[in-house]
Structure 1
Amino acid sequence: MDEYSVQEPLLSSQISVKKTSLFVSSVKWILKILIWVIFVAWIGVIFLFPSQFGNELLGKYIHATDGNPFGITGSLFLVLSGPVLVIAFLSIIHLIISGVEEFQHKKSSKYPSVSLWTFPVLVDGPFGVVSAAEFIGILLFVVYIVWALYAYTIKSLNRISEEDLTPMEERIWFLKLMGGHLGSMGLFCLAFLLLPVARGSVLLRFIDIPFEHATRYHVWLGHLTMVLFTLHGLLYVAGWAMEGNLLHALLSWKDIGVAILPGVISLIAGLLMWVTSLPPVRKWNFELFFYTHQLYVVFVLGLALHVGDFIFSMAAGAIFMFMLDRFLRFCQSRSTVDIISAKSLPCGTVELVLSKPRNLRYNALSFVFLQIRELSWLQWHPFSVSSSPLDGKYHLSILIKVLGEWTARLRGSIMNISEAEQPVSPSQPCPKITASVEGPYGHEAPYHLMYENLILVAGGIGISPFLAILSDILHRVNEGRPCLPRNVLIVWAVKRSDELPLLSTIDLESICPNFYDKLNLEISIYVTRESGPPLEEGDIHNVTISSVCPMSEGGGMSVLAGTGDNIWSGLYVISSTVGFVILLCMLYIFYINPFSISTWWYKGLLFFGCMLASIVIFGGLVVGLWHLWENKISAREEHKEERMKLGMVQHNEDVQNKNLFQKNHTSITTIQYGSRPDFEEIFGSISERWGHVDVGVIICGPPTLQSSVAREIRSQNLRRESHDPVFHFNSHSFDL
C-alpha cells in the first residue's frame, strides 16, 4: 500500500505548506474588517437616504463640503460611489498579499457545521436554488424597497399637505414626486446591478464569488431595477397626461434640470434589454437577447444625459468598475489564440485544446468565453474548462456540446477541415479556425480541494468541469501537492450511452499510477433513455473519433484578464481611478467653474467622458506596459517544446483512446440503464458510509437536476443526527 493510504488524509506531514506569517495574517484581517466597516456604512447611508433624518444629514454634509472644486457632484460621488472604489483598492491589497502565499488547505473539521453559503433554503420558484446567505441578501433588498416606499410616500404626502392645491393638482404632484423617488431607488439598485457582471472584478475575487454565480444576482437585480425605472417613467407619463402636455414633456430637453428625451431613450433601451432577457425570449432566440443587451451603452449614456453629473455620480462607482472590466476584456479579446487540436466525438461533443502562456492563472473550475471568427464576429459563448492547470503549462482544454446553431456550425467546420485534402501548393489557402478568448474566470481559490469528501453530480456535458477536478486531484496526489479530498463520488446522468466516451478524455492511470490505492473514487452513471447497452459489453465504447489539428495564426491566450496578475490588474484599476479624479479635477478647475457651465445634460456627458477617457488613457497605458512585460518574460522555446510534446500525445491518442475507458474506469464504474439517480438513496448511503464529516456537493447540470439535489441536501441537513454528515451545496451551472 502506498504511503498515502485511503485511511489517512492526503495531506501528510511530509508535505510542506508555507505558513502564513503573523504579520500577513494580521494585515489581511485588518483589511477585511476595514472593508466590512466601509460596506456596512455605505449600506447604512443608502437606507437612511429616504428618511427625513437622512435628508437633513445629507444637507449638512453637502453644506460642509461645499468648498470643494467639484461642488455637489464631488460630495455625492464621495459618499455614494467612493466607498465602492475604496473597497476595490483595499481588495487589491488583500489579493496581492494573498497571492504570494501557496495554496492553504483547510483542515478536516472534527465538528462539521452548516454554512450559510452552502445551505439551500429555497429550491423551487422564480429564484431557483437559493442559499441561506443569498436569502438574507434578498430579504435586505425587500426590506429596503418596502422601507423606502413607505418613507417616500409619507414624505410626499406631507409635502403636498403644506401646499394649497386642488385635488387634481395634488394627484398630479403626488405622481411626479413618487416617480422621482422611484427613480432614485432605481439608481441605488443600478449601483449593485453592474457589479456582478464585471467578470474579473477585484470585488468578486475578494469575496470569492465567480461570475457564473454572480450572473444570478445580476438577473435578480435587473428585474428589480427595471421595475423601478419603468414605474418611474409611468408615473411621470400619467402625471403629464393628466396635465394634457404628454408629448411636449416627452420631447423636452432642458438645459437646467432633468432632460426628459434622453431619459425616454434610456428607458426604451432598458425595456428592450429587459424583455429580450426573459427566459422564453432568450431560449427562443439567444442571438436576439445577446445583441439587444449591447444597448447597455445607450442605457448608461442616456441616463447620464437625463439626470446630469451630480445625480449620475450616485451610481457612477459601480458603472466605472464595469467599464474597467469591459475595456480589459476588449483588449484581451483582440488577440487570436492557437487551436492546438480539435476533436469531434460522435456523441455531438467537440474538444478544443487552446494554447496559453505559462503564467496564465486558472483553476479546475474555471471557464472561458470563446469566439470563433469564422462563425461570428460578435457572438461569445461560455464553456467550462475540462483540463487541470497541472495537465500542461501551455495548453487548456474545453468540451463543447452541440446544442444550438452556433455549436453545430463549429462542429461542422471541424469536420469539414478534417475531411479536406491538403493543399496541392503552398499558395493554396488551407481552411482554419480563428479563435479569440476572454478569461479564464472562476473561483479565486480552488474550493473543490477544501473538502475531504466530494460528491460531483453532473448532467450530460456537465461532466466537463468534473474531469478537470478529477485530473487536478490526481495530479496533486501523484506530485505530493496540498490536496484534501480522499473520497470522491461522481454521479453522472446522460440521455444516451454514446456520451460515455467523454470519460475517455482523461487517463486516470497515466496521471496517477495505482490511484485506487490513494483515493476512494466511485463513478455512478445513469443512462436515462436506454433500457440496456445497445451493443455487447465492451464494444459500446469503441467509437471512432474524428481528430484534426487546424493551424490558426495566433499565439497563446492573453494574460490581460481581470483574474490574472494581481499587481498589474491592481495597477490598472488604481491608475484609471486616479486618472479619472485628475481629469475631472482639471475639467472643473479649467473649464466648468471658470466658464460657469451649468447645463445638466452637458455636465453629465462630460462626467461620463472623463470616466471613459481615464480608462482608455491611464488604464490603457498600464495595459500596454502589462502586455509588453508579459511578452518579455514569455519563453518561446518552452512553448514550442510543449506544443511538440502535446502533438505527439494527440497523435497517439486516437490509437489508444478506444481502450482508455475499459482500462481506467471499469473497476470503479457502475452503469444503470433506464433509470434516473435516486438522490435520497444516494445521500442516505453516503451518510451511513462516510459518517460525521463535511461533504462538498458540486452540481453542474440543468435546473431540474440542481433543484433535485438541493432539495435532498436540505432534507438531509434538516433531519440529520449527530453521527450524520453535513452536505454543502455548490452549483457550477449558469445560464446567460
Structure 2
Amino acid sequence: MLIAVLGCFYLHLKDKRESSLESNSSPQTHLAMLRRPLLVIGPLGVVTAMELVFLVMGIALVCWHFGHYYYVSVKHPFMGHGREHQKKWQITLRTVSLRLGYASNISWAFVFFPVIRLSSLLPLVGLTSESSIKYHIWIGQVVMITSALHSAGFFIYWAIVSQLYLALEWSKTHVSNIAGEISWVFLIAMWITSFAYTRRKSFEVFFYTHQLYALATFFYIVHIGAAWTMQLLPGVYLFTLDRYLRFLQSRSRARLTSVRVLPGGTVEMTFAKSRGLHYNVASNLFVSVPKISSLQWHPFTVSSNDNMEPDRLSIVFKTGGSWTTKLYKELSSSSLDRLEVSVEGPYGPASTSFIKHETLVLISGGSGMTPYISIIREIIHQSNTQKGKVPKVVLICAFKHAADLTMLDLLLPAESSPADLSNIQLEIQAYVTREDQAPPASNGQDLLVHTNWFKPSPLDSPITPVLGHNSWLCLCLIIASSFVLFLILLAIVTQYYIYPIDKNTNSLYDFTSWVVWDMFLMCISIIFISSIVFFIQKKKMAALEEKQIKNVEVPMPMTSPGSWLCGGGGELESHPYQSLVQATQVHYGGRPNLQKILLESKGHDVGVMASGPRGLRHDVARICSGCGATNLHFEYLSFNW
C-alpha cells in the first residue's frame, strides 16, 4: 500500500508522455537484451529473459512459503484434539495439505495486481493491466494447482480417518471447510472457461463465468479467516478501489459522434473526448452497449492519436463473435441516429519507447492491424512537428480477402487537417492470401467507406479522465485517505465491539462475522472517499465539457485508398491518400515470408511488433530470438485478450 501511494507521486512528477516524445535515445542495451524473446512455449506464450527470471522467482517464493511452514510444523507439531492415536504418515498428510493451503494463499496475494487497470504499481515496472494479463493467468494457474492439492489432500485425509463429515463443517470459531469448498467450485468453473479456446470462440461464456471471482474471493476469505486475509488485503483493496472507480466512470454515457463502416465487417467508432484526457498510442478502451448487452464489456484498441485528434477518440473492430456481429448490424443501419454507449478507460502502455528505433517493422494478420493505426499516426505527427528523428516504418499486413484492404483507409484520420506524409519513410506490403488476383474494376460502390454521423444528446458527454487532470495525485489521495479511514473504523469496531464479546463469553467472536466486518469496512471506506473525490473532480470538468465543440455533419468521403487498391473507381483528390496508395504494394495468393523480410531488414536497431493470430506472434518471436537476428528487437505489447 505504501508503494502504491509513493508510486502515484512518482508518476505525477514524471511526465511520461513528454519524455517519451522528446527522448532521442534508443532502449538501453542491457534492458533490450532482457526483453528479447527467450522461449516460445505453447501454454506460456512468448517469454522474455526478464519474465523467465520473475517466473522462477515466483515459483521459488511459493515453494519457500510451503517449505518454511512445513519445516516449522515438523519441528513444533500440533497434535490437536482427536489426533493422538493417528499414525505419523496420516498426520504428515494433513500437515502437507494444510501447508499447501498456505502456499496457495501467497499466490492469492498476487493474483489481483496484474488486472488493476488504474494501477500505480504496474507502471513503475513498465507494465499495464493489458500487458500483464498473462501474469494473471500464470498466477491463477498456481492458485488452481495449490488449491487442488490442498483440497484433495484434506479429502483423502478425512476419508482415511473416517471424518468426512468435517467437509460440511461451518465452524463459528475456526476455519470454515464448506466455505472453502464453495470457493473451489466457483474457481473450477472460472478455470475451465478461461482457456484460450473458450475465450476466442465463446467470449460471453468466459465473461459471465469469470464474474464469479467476487463470490470465489468472498468465500475464500471466509474460509481462511481475518488473520490470513491480511496477506491478501493490498491486492483485494486496490482491485476493489479500481473496480469502483471504473463503475463510477461507466455511469456516464459516452458521446458517439460517428462511425465508418468498411466492407468485410470492419467498423471505426469515433467518440468525443475532453482535451484534458491524454493517452498513449496502442491504448485500450472497454466498451459496453446496453442495447446489445447491459453486462458485457469488450476491450478494443484505440486507433486514434491524441496529438492529431485532441477532441476525438476512435476504436476499430472487426466482426467475430456474436456481440461484435450484433454491434456491426446495429451501426450499419442507415436509420440509426444515435446509440447509447458506456466506456471505461482508456488504459495505455506505460512507455512508447518502441517509436525510437531506427526502423520499425509492424506485422499484422487481419484485424491485427488496428493497433498500428495509432502508432503510424503518431509517427506522422512527430515528423510534421519536427520532434526529433522518426523511424522508417514497414507495415506487413495479411488479409484473407481483397475487400479487407479498405482497412488501410483507417491509417489516416477521417476528419483532420491534411497529413503530410513526405517527411516519413513508409512502406506497406499488403498480402491477400485467399485470392490469386485483384478483383475486376468496378464503380467501387460496394467498396466505399460509409460514414454515419450521430445526433448529439444532452444525456451524453465526452470521454473524460476518471479522476481529472491530476489523476495520479487524486488516486494517491483516495488510496491514502480511504486506507487510513479503514484502519480507524477497523480499530473502533474491534476495540469496542469484537473484543468485549470475546472477553465476556466463553467462546471466541464468530469467525465468519469478523471477516465480514473487515470486508464491509473496507468497502465503506473505499466508496465514501472515492465518491467524494470523483464527484468533486467531475464537477470541475463539467465546465470544460460544456465548451466541447458540437459535432457537425460533413460530407461523406466517396473513395478511399483501400477501395482504389481493390479496383474501385474514382479519383484520389487528397494528396495524403495518394501518397498512401503509392507507398503500398499488394501481393495476391500467398503469405509473407516473415523470416526473409525480418532477417533482411537493414540497420542495427530494428524494432519488431506482431499483432494478430497467436501463431503469427509466436513465429515472429522465434525469428527475433534467433542467433542471426541481433539487430531485431521484439517489442511486446498485448493486443489480444
TM-score relative to the length of structure 1: 0.79
Q: Percent identity, aligned pairs only?
A: 29
Instruction: List aligned pairs for 1:94-493, cutoff 5 A.
Output: 94-99=10-15, 102-104=18-20, 105-109=22-26, 115-157=32-74, 169-246=87-164, 248-416=165-333, 418=334, 420=335, 432-480=338-386, 482-493=387-398
For 1:719, the aligned partner's letter is G
Instruction: List aligned pairs for 1:581-600, cutoff 5 A.
Output: 581-596=487-502, 598-600=509-511
Per-residue deviation, residues 179-206 of structure 1 (Å, max 9, x unmatched):
2111111111111110001111111122
Tell me which residue corresponds to 1:621.
532
For 2:518, the aligned partner's letter is F
Instruction: List aligned pairs for 1:568-717, cutoff 5 A.
Output: 568-596=474-502, 598-632=509-543, 634-640=544-550, 643-644=551-552, 647-648=553-554, 651-654=555-558, 659=572, 663-686=578-601, 689-690=602-603, 692=604, 694-715=605-626
Report the CA distance shift for 1:361/1:161 in structure 2 as closer, same or farther (over 3 A): closer
Residue aligned with 2:92, SS: helix
Per-residue deviation, residues 27-79 of structure 1 (Å, max 9, x unmatched):
xxxxxxxxxxxxxxxxxxxxxxxxxxxxxxxxxxxxxxxxxxxxxxxxxxxxx
Verify the 8 A CA contact 2:406 2:560 in the aligned structure 1: no
Tell me which residue corresponds to 1:523.
428
2:450 is aligned with 1:546: yes
Verify the 8 A CA contact 2:449 2:560 in the aligned structure 1: no
Per-residue deviation, residues 380-413 of structure 1 (Å, max 9, x unmatched):
1010011100232221111110011111101111
Task: Count the aligned residue pairs.
Answer: 620
Tell me which residue corresponds to 1:48.
none
1:730 Cα offset (Å): 2.0
Residue aligned with 1:202, SS: coil
Verify the 8 A CA contact 2:304 2:374 in the aligned structure 1: yes
Whole-Å separation in 1 of the counterparts to 2:494 and 2:27? 61
Verify the 8 A CA contact 2:35 2:48 in the aligned structure 1: yes
Verify the 8 A CA contact 2:308 2:377 in the aligned structure 1: yes
Whole-Å separation in 2 of the counterparts to 1:217 and 1:241? 36
1:486 Cα offset (Å): 2.7
1:274 Cα offset (Å): 1.1
Whole-Å separation in 1 of the counterparts to 2:84 and 2:517? 41
Whole-Å separation in 2 of the counterparts to 1:508 and 1:91? 35
Whole-Å separation in 2 of the counterparts to 1:561 and 1:222? 30
Structure 2: stretches of 5+ with no match in the other structure: 503-507, 564-571
1:446 Cα offset (Å): 2.7
Q: 1:506 aligns with which of 396, 400, 411?
A: 411
1:586 Cα offset (Å): 2.0
Residue aligned with 1:353, SS: strand
1:155 Cα offset (Å): 4.8
Report the CA distance shift for 1:595/1:154 in structure 2 as closer, same or farther (over 3 A): closer
Whole-Å separation in 2 of the counterparts to 1:467 and 1:564? 28
Tell me which residue corresponds to 2:568.
none
1:496 Cα offset (Å): 1.3
Report the CA distance shift for 1:220/1:293 in structure 2 as closer, same or farther (over 3 A): same
Verify the 8 A CA contact 1:309 1:604 in the aligned structure 2: yes
Whole-Å separation in 1 of the counterparts to 2:51 and 2:36? 10
1:88 Cα offset (Å): 0.4
For 2:348, the aligned partner's letter is G
1:707 Cα offset (Å): 0.6
Per-residue deviation, residues 252-281 of structure 1 (Å, max 9, x unmatched):
111221111222211211111111112343
Structure 1: stretches of 5+ with no match in the other structure: 1-84, 421-429
Per-residue deviation, residues 278-330 of structure 1 (Å, max 9, x unmatched):
23433442212111111111112112221221111111111111111101111
338-347 or 128-137, which moves further after superposition?
A: 338-347
Report the CA distance shift for 1:303/1:631 in structure 2 as closer, same or farther (over 3 A): same
Per-residue deviation, residues 119-169 of structure 1 (Å, max 9, x unmatched):
001123210111111111111123234444545555555556999978953
Report the CA distance shift for 1:488/1:582 in structure 2 as closer, same or farther (over 3 A): same
1:93 Cα offset (Å): 1.0
1:344 Cα offset (Å): 1.9
Verify the 8 A CA contact 1:507 1:664 in the aligned structure 2: no
Tell me which residue corresponds to 2:505.
none
Residue aligned with 1:123, SS: strand
Verify the 8 A CA contact 2:468 2:537 in the aligned structure 1: no
Tell me which residue corresponds to 2:628.
719
Whole-Å separation in 1 of the counterparts to 2:332 and 2:16? 45
Residue aligned with 2:215, SS: helix
Verify the 8 A CA contact 2:62 2:106 in the aligned structure 1: no
Verify the 8 A CA contact 2:26 2:353 in the aligned structure 1: no
Report the CA distance shift for 1:111/1:346 in structure 2 as closer, same or farther (over 3 A): closer
448-457 or 123-132, which moves further after superposition?
A: 448-457
Whole-Å separation in 1 of the counterparts to 2:365 and 2:632? 23
Report the CA distance shift for 1:381/1:88 in structure 2 as closer, same or farther (over 3 A): same
For 2:628, the aligned partner's letter is R
TM-score relative to the length of structure 2: 0.90
Residue aligned with 1:174, SS: helix
Verify the 8 A CA contact 1:304 1:604 in the aligned structure 2: yes
Report the CA distance shift for 1:382/1:265 in structure 2 as closer, same or farther (over 3 A): same
Verify the 8 A CA contact 2:98 2:150 in the aligned structure 1: yes
1:534 Cα offset (Å): 1.9
Residue aligned with 2:115, SS: coil
Whole-Å separation in 2 of the counterparts to 1:678 and 1:704? 14
Whole-Å separation in 2 of the counterparts to 1:539 and 1:682? 35
Whole-Å separation in 2 of the counterparts to 1:359 and 1:612? 30
Whole-Å separation in 1 of the counterparts to 2:623 and 2:179? 50
Report the CA distance shift for 1:451/1:287 in structure 2 as closer, same or farther (over 3 A): same
Per-residue deviation, residues 202-229 of structure 1 (Å, max 9, x unmatched):
1112222122211111011111111111
For 2:546, the aligned partner's letter is R
For 1:121, the aligned partner's letter is L
Verify the 8 A CA contact 1:477 1:512 in the aligned structure 2: no
Report the CA distance shift for 1:727/1:435 in structure 2 as closer, same or farther (over 3 A): same
Whole-Å separation in 2 of the counterparts to 1:367 and 1:562? 19
Per-residue deviation, residues 499-533 of structure 1 (Å, max 9, x unmatched):
111111234898665523x2221111111111121
Residue aligned with 2:257, SS: strand
Verify the 8 A CA contact 1:500 1:541 in the aligned structure 2: no
